[in-house]
Amino acid sequence: MCQSCWKIGRKRSIESVEKQNKTRILKYGDNIPGSFKKGQKSWNQGKHVGDGKDHRIHVPKGKTHGMYIDGRTSLRHKLLYMPEYKKWRKFIFERDKYTCQNCYAKSSKDNPIYLEAHHVKPVIILREHNINTIDRARTCKELWDTNNGITLCEKCHDPLKLHPIGRDNKGRLTRILQ
């Protein structure tokens, strides 16, 4: 157990709090470590290293990082950051006027709602078309088909992610399409 763990959960007396505050003020004055006053400059603002080199620490990223494991990022995760997906998602939202097509909820300042673009025919398309790389996903027309998308709020979309009960035998949403 560390030295300060015994203090956790214990109430300090008013005398001890006042004594600590008095000691802190005597030691640091108004300049308490880690705090800045409005308009105060940081200690290293305007200071430069004399040799002109960039002294920032280089942190390796991607394949050059020591903890990198090839193939760890799932295809689904990679798809979410593709420009094609972002374009498809934006089109679906604009077409549906940023309104949930199940409960017709719309976001406002008083009632913010998180909307999600949902593939009506599930993303099992990836398995059907044997898509296992980003390049194959880019060429799959069915994945980017705007007729295969619908806007749902998080509340309506979550049950469909977890339970395939809301789908017919072809994988389509039964509640929404009826």
Q: Each residue of 114-124: pLDDT tens digit?
A: 999 988 877 67
The structure's pTM equals: 0.53
Question: What is the pLDDT at residue 91?
Answer: 95
Question: What is the pLDDT at residue 176?
Answer: 46
Q: Where are the domains of the chain?
A: 75-177
Residue 87 clears pLDDT 90, i.e. is over it: yes
Residue whose C-alpha is closest to residue 123's, from 83, 90, 74, 87: 74
SS3 146: helix
Backbone phi and psi for residue 99, each to the nearest 5 degrees, phi listed first = -130, 135
53 vs 161: which has the higher pLDDT: 161
